[in-house]
Structure 1
Amino acid sequence: MLARLQSLPRDSRDTLFLLAVIAWVLLPQVSHLPWWCSALAAAMLLFRGKLAFGNQPLPNKWWLLVLLAVAVGATLLTHKTLLGRDAGVTLIVILLALKTLELRARRDAFVVFFLGFFTMLTNFFYSQSLLTAFSMLLGLLGLLTALVNAHMPVGKPPLLQAAKTAGWMALLGAPVMVVLFLLFPRLAPLWGTPSDAMTGRSGLSATMQVGTIASLALDDSIAMRIAFEGRLPPQRELYFRGPVLSSFDGREWRSSSSSLFPARFKLADKLKVEGPPVSYQVTLEPTSRPWLFVMEAAGESPVLPGYQTRMSSELQWLTDRPITDIVRYQVQSHPVFRHGPDKQEIGLQEFVELPPGFNPRTLALAAEIRRDPRYAQAGTQALVQVAMDKLRTGGYTYTLEPGVYGANTADEFWFDRKEGFCEHIASAFVVLMRAMDVPARIVTGYQGGELNSVDGFWVLRQSDAHAWTEVWQAGVGWVRVDPTSAVSPGRTGAFQRLTAPQGVVGQALGNLSPALSVQLRAAWEAVNNRWNQWVLNYTQGKQLDLLKKIGFESPSWEDLSYVLIAIVVLVSAAGAAWAWWERVQHDPWLRLLGHARRQLSRAGLTSSAASTPRQLALQVLAQQGKQGQAIHDWLMQLEAQRYSTSAGPASGIDLARLKKQYACLRWPV
């Protein structure tokens, strides 16, 4: 096979290499493209490779027009538009694959090169991870190699030679790239809009539908990283607050601040914090939601440059626009706090409302507890204890595969299935509390996490998404109650926790050496964290901080522009100095011969760049006679200085003396 490839004509070999590079660039897009687009692009690349390998003619132009029409129609049917990110990427992939089928001349190759560069950039619309950047760097070097190879029209140069040239080009361009990265004004992100589909996977959503998912797949991707300053709080206290859900229609929980279910009465949102604060920095992955997750409870706004933040009446911190890029913010939280009204208010009535016709057995259980003389006049704390004791001793289990629940989800949990994940447990608990006239609501967010031993960051994953509850207690306000901790203490403590299934490689490493597998994973995530911190999260504020470090007291965008212009001027001056140095270092003997040739051309002596000093000397003697004898002798000495073995400083023929004689000669006009 290798011998067959080596025997191919130059055009076929270059085409096969270019097709391989294009396939590499398109490979990361497969998970984001419609299935038909990936299949069609792969078929066209394979077909074009077959034509190149067999040195066969390209298809008729009419076939390409038919394929283009089919692709455009399929794109319109799939995306309902030809505009936008997804539709645009689909079209550019098809156009790139189609263009390879009319790859006849160098001009066509150049079009394919630049389409390939553009398609390579579209990978960053979906992911800016270190792995994506590394794979696209390889794609960039491949395209540069193909481009350099196309500028070598003679012979059959090895691809390794073109690859070395492309590598040098990339290295020479790296300093320019670094300067532009550091100083070019930070604009709004052009990509980074991840999918919001979380159905069937652990994570957070704006609503919570109970019982509609038969099984939950643990998503092991990282949600946020946290760098604590000072003492790390106990893991059982690490509750990071998200949306609060209080409106229930029997199946779905929604926030009371939603436009569909507006609150009829505004509750007092008092927040009183006690004790020393916990300071930390959060690096939040994109969510496409305007949510900032902070450890309960943060009374002061998180420091997030470029965003406006506010706290809702439910203690959730929100931004003025969705988080579509990795952000980093500084927070101070107080684990000991109180919030909400101290006394009974009319607005609390909304937190005991239940939809009619749902969960009759749970309502009956609540009535039975209330009829018990021990709890007839009991307060919130005693009623919560009854429900928590029932969860601990009633044979309830925490599972990710509870099956699909029916209409009465609380009844099925309390009396039939007795199993579910945190949303089933929290929902059933709140329904029971409300049935006993205790104001209650669901809080969603993240709980727990793990320490990365390599870089010291606390990591929370989508698998750490959690739902807990709050109940209202007179004289205290809203109190956190996590019913899942009664069913599965390990879910909220530092014990064995549910983990996502590993891939084939991860399982193999885990079976071979569990400790090595953990260390490799921690090291890789630490590297990714550095990439996020120093590259993806290089913000406008960091640019100005860089100016402060180099001496600017109060840097502004004007200062940033001045620094960038100064660097451009310095680089240009350095380039000019380099060109001058190169000119000075040019062969002085050839430069002196060139001066003489130009002097003689003014007298009508025709010569070429290949004319030797001896040929010029003979021409001068033939034209000028004895008047040209001095020039003849000088030219012969110039030749001797270069080629005679006896010439040199010792013989008196050195270049410096010849330069002085050149200036004294009487050249013909």
Structure 2
Amino acid sequence: MSLRQTLASLPRDTRDTLFVLLVIAWVIAPQTPYLPGWTTALAAGVLAWRGWLTWQGRPLPGRWITGALLVLGVGLTLMSYRTIIGREAGVTLIIVLLSLKTLELRARRDAMVIFFLCFFTMLSSFFVSQTLVTAAMMLIALLGLLTALVNAHLPVGRPPLALSMRMAGRMALLGAPIMLALFLLFPRMAPLWGMPADEARGRSGLSSEMSVGDMASLVLDDGVAMRVRFETPGGQPPPQRDLYFRGPVLTVFDGRGWSPLMQPRMAGVMPASPTPAQLEVRGEAVRYEVTLEPTRQPWLLTLDAALDTPQVPAGTRAFMTPELNWMANRAVGEVLRYRAESHVDFSHGPQQRTRQMQPYVQLPAGLNPRTLALAAQMRADPALAAGGAQAFIDAALNRLRTGGYTYTLEPGVYGDHTADEFWFDAKAGFCEHIASAFVVLMRALDVPARIVTGYQGGEINGFDNYWTVRQADAHAWSEVWIEGRGWVRVDPTGAVSPGRVGAFQRLQAPRGAFGNAIDAVIAPGFVQKLRAGWEAVNNRWNQWVLNYTQDRQLDLLRALGVESPSWQDLGRVLAGLVAAVALAGIAWSWWDRSQHDPWLRLLARTRRRLQRAGLELPAHLPPRAMAGQVRSHFGAPAHPIADWLLRMEQVRYAAQPADALAALQRDFRTLPWPPAAARHALNAS
């Protein structure tokens, strides 16, 4: 017997229970990457056990077993999160309770509890992921839950699941316009709209600290960091050498790691800085729109350098730090879209050196002695000393070009003297190795310098003309202070590998055996096109769904003719629309019931037949009253018609009226209806 035949022969309770267990597993599946391993194992084990008990027809476990598993689940939740209150702990506990509730699935009441727990678990999936894939999986889960819910309310017997599925699909289609209206018009009052971001959850990407060697790991991450749409003809960006998206500025060096001089406060206030930004811009502004992926960090990445405040959504405030960073008043916990204007030709920082610039020349004591000796040797050169900071910069860059230095993902392990090992031993490194060693040398030359991290480059997606900046484009460069010019960008990586900055030549991780086999079967260009198409679809999802903010809602009202819309206007429009839909639904339901109810149609035929026989009956008269009128008007010959009308009344309130109504329709044709001539005779008398 095939599996299909086996499933078709199962009792209804067994079939329905297995279907519900399958739906539960589908609802839980998207959250498994974000749950503790024990949660997934416990849920999978309980669901598999419940399925085996159902398949074998065995009794459910006793309460003491369920209670012991509940205590175990709560205890493990406390061990994992130190609490059972909060978003992550709460979702974990809900999944534990949902899986354990299946061991008590005996009656319809238990099924209703499971359905509502499933709906809540389905909603909680969007706490951790709001991608298009998650939305598609939850849509399938919704249809599955509606199917199970409809099936649980069908009468006894063995109705096919396909029937329940069709009814669930119709319900979903009928609810789709309401869902769309609520999505478009329900007021979004940030920051109340949505769940607060979990700051403790890490994301790959830029950090406020950098250890030498950290950034090389980002090259192995091909995920999207942000998407940029340039508002120029053809969406073309500035020249490639100017595509620097500014992130954290790192000043304090402890020998291996770099950190900011000041840590920003999330309230949106920056501590006082020893050096103000003093930004001056020249030339035409570059206008663009950024769609930033969640970073759990407050930085708003902008093209160097943005003078005016980026246009951020309502509820978010942006401010510039003295080190030329734009930051939000809270961490970016969801996809964020903002507009900005930048000038690639700019200068910033003080023109004259002051005591407040001392942090930019400080070095830890006792480290990198050979780099310090190199700096002393360079200062002793009269030609270099006469040229000042610019001469020292040129000399260091020339050393990088001609000294056999290489740009690589595998520079080896560095010890405590990272600058010494780069300049004199390994002579190989990634961008942060090069930038760190360069800044240490500049500081040893008493030239103020610091490290800037961010992204450099990107690639255009031919499907939607958005520039995609990936984590693999993470980059570190340096800024050197020159008297009379202020802070000047110097990218020492360009001296070692000019293609990295000028032609977007990225280092690639070594291909494994599986990757090489795939390349042999599928052309890499075809794979790239598939990825670009999928990313364009995801970008549309981000732009039109995840980033549908209050500003865009108000733009919709403006398009509808509201001059100065507010969220109160949104509420009024939504309330009016809901009222109109409700009235339309009532009218349609009344019309549909009167036009398509077979019982009402049969009653209307009866009334017309009696009217031809000379008995006028009002439309509101029920069958029992009609039967009395028939008896009194036609006498004994019409008693079968009166009895038939009483049967009609019984059928109206029967548990299964379909078969009885068919019998009434057959008997209608054989009833002793008075002839139409009787009416004329009656009128003549």
The answer, yes or no, to whether TM exceeds 0.5 is: yes
Could you say which residue in structure 2 is the equivalent of 1:522?
532
Specify the code of the residue in structure 1 equivalent to 2:221.
D
Could you say which residue in structure 1 is the equivalent of 2:300?
292
Could you say which residue in structure 2 is the equivalent of 1:54?
56
Shift of 1:458: 0.5
Question: Are 2:617 and 1:615 equivalent residues in the alignment?
Answer: no
Could you say which residue in structure 2 is the equivalent of 1:400?
409
Could you say which residue in structure 2 is the equivalent of 1:628?
none
The correspondence of residues 165-564 of structure 1 with structure 2, limited to 5 A, is 165-187=167-189, 188-191=192-195, 193=197, 203-211=205-213, 218-230=220-232, 231-258=236-263, 266-306=274-314, 307-499=316-508, 508=518, 511-564=521-574
Indicate the SS of the match to 2:384.
Answer: coil
Residue number among 116, 138, 141 corresponding to 1:139 in the alignment: 141
Q: Name the stretch that deviates more: 105-114 or 432-441.
A: 105-114
Question: Are 2:616 and 1:590 equivalent residues in the alignment?
Answer: no
Say if 1:613 and 1:259 are closer, same or farther in 2 by CA, change over 3 A: same
Shift of 1:214: 8.8
- Note if contact 2:449-2:481 (Cα within 8 Å) is conserved in structure 1: yes
What do the CA deviations read for 1:4-54 (whole angstroms, capped 9, x no partner)? 332222111111111111111111211111111111111111111111111
Shift of 1:181: 0.4
Say if 1:143 and 1:500 are closer, same or farther in 2 by CA, change over 3 A: farther
Residue number among 633, 637, 643 corresponding to 2:669 in the alignment: 643
Say if 1:366 and 1:520 are closer, same or farther in 2 by CA, change over 3 A: same
Aligned residue-pair number: 634
Q: Distance in 1 between matches of 2:273 and 2:178?
A: 59
Residue number among 102, 105, 109 corresponding to 1:103 in the alignment: 105
Q: Name the stretch that deviates more: 522-531 or 246-255.
A: 246-255
- Note if contact 1:614-1:639 (Cα within 8 Å) is conserved in structure 2: no
- Note if contact 1:250-1:407 (Cα within 8 Å) is conserved in structure 2: yes
What do the CA deviations read for 1:429-470 (whole angstroms, capped 9, x no partner)? 100000011110001111101000100000111111111100
Indicate the SS of the match to 1:374.
Answer: helix
- Note if contact 2:404-2:427 (Cα within 8 Å) is conserved in structure 1: yes
Shift of 1:559: 1.5
What do the CA deviations read for 1:174-193 (whole angstroms, capped 9, x no partner)? 01100000111114343473
Specify the code of the residue in structure 2 equivalent to 1:573.
L
Say if 1:543 and 1:153 are closer, same or farther in 2 by CA, change over 3 A: same
Shift of 1:134: 0.5
Shift of 1:154: 1.8
Could you say which residue in structure 2 is the equivalent of 1:160?
162
What do the CA deviations read for 1:514-562 (whole angstroms, capped 9, x no partner)? 2211111111000000000000100011111111111101111221122
Shift of 1:614: 4.9
Indicate the SS of the match to 1:322.
Answer: coil
Could you say which residue in structure 2 is the equivalent of 1:581?
591
What do the CA deviations read for 1:587-629 (whole angstroms, capped 9, x no partner)? 45504658263435778989xxxxx975245899xxxxxxxxx
- Note if contact 2:246-2:301 (Cα within 8 Å) is conserved in structure 1: yes
In the alignment, structure 2 segments of 5+ residues that lack a partner are: 608-619, 646-663
Specify the code of the residue in structure 2 equivalent to 1:178.
L
Indicate the SS of the match to 1:400.
Answer: coil
Could you say which residue in structure 1 is the equivalent of 2:611?
none
What do the CA deviations read for 1:61-99 (whole angstroms, capped 9, x no partner)? 100100110111111111111111111111111111111
Shift of 1:249: 1.8
Shift of 1:253: 1.2
- Note if contact 2:219-2:474 (Cα within 8 Å) is conserved in structure 1: no
Could you say which residue in structure 2 is the equivalent of 1:123?
125
Q: Distance in 2 between matches of 1:333 and 1:242?
A: 14
- Note if contact 2:199-2:331 (Cα within 8 Å) is conserved in structure 1: no
Specify the code of the residue in structure 1 equivalent to 2:306.
A
Q: Distance in 2 between matches of 1:284 and 1:506?
A: 32
Q: Distance in 1 between matches of 2:218 and 2:472?
A: 10
Say if 1:223 and 1:212 are closer, same or farther in 2 by CA, change over 3 A: closer
Could you say which residue in structure 1 is the equivalent of 2:576?
566
Say if 1:73 and 1:661 are closer, same or farther in 2 by CA, change over 3 A: farther
Q: Distance in 2 between matches of 1:443 and 1:582?
A: 68
Specify the code of the residue in structure 2 equivalent to 1:353.
Q
- Note if contact 1:241-1:296 (Cα within 8 Å) is conserved in structure 2: yes
Shift of 1:358: 1.2
- Note if contact 2:630-2:638 (Cα within 8 Å) is conserved in structure 1: no
- Note if contact 2:274-2:357 (Cα within 8 Å) is conserved in structure 1: no
Shift of 1:3: 3.0
Say if 1:3 and 1:661 are closer, same or farther in 2 by CA, change over 3 A: farther
Q: Distance in 1 between matches of 2:493 and 2:68?
A: 59
The normalised TM-score by structure 1 is: 0.88
Q: Distance in 2 between matches of 1:546 and 1:315?
A: 35
Shift of 1:217: 5.7
The correspondence of residues 619-630 of structure 1 with structure 2, limited to 5 A, is none
Say if 1:220 and 1:97 are closer, same or farther in 2 by CA, change over 3 A: same
What do the CA deviations read for 1:319-354 (whole angstroms, capped 9, x no partner)? 112211212111111000010111122222221111
Specify the code of the residue in structure 2 equivalent to 1:234.
P
Q: Distance in 2 between matches of 1:276 and 1:25?
A: 52
What do the CA deviations read for 1:117-153 (whole angstroms, capped 9, x no partner)? 1111111111100011001111111111111111124
What do the CA deviations read for 1:378-403 (whole angstroms, capped 9, x no partner)? 31111111111111222222222334
Specify the code of the residue in structure 1 equivalent to 2:669.
Y
Shift of 1:232: 2.1
Q: Distance in 2 between matches of 1:12 and 1:18?
A: 10
Q: Name the stretch that deviates more: 369-378 or 105-114.
A: 369-378
Shift of 1:210: 2.2
- Note if contact 1:211-1:403 (Cα within 8 Å) is conserved in structure 2: no
Q: Distance in 2 between matches of 1:10 and 1:461?
A: 52
The normalised TM-score by structure 2 is: 0.86
Moved runs in structure 1, 4+ residues, more than 3 A? 191-199, 211-217, 262-265, 499-507, 586-589, 591-594, 600-606, 616-620, 638-642, 644-648
Shift of 1:576: 2.3
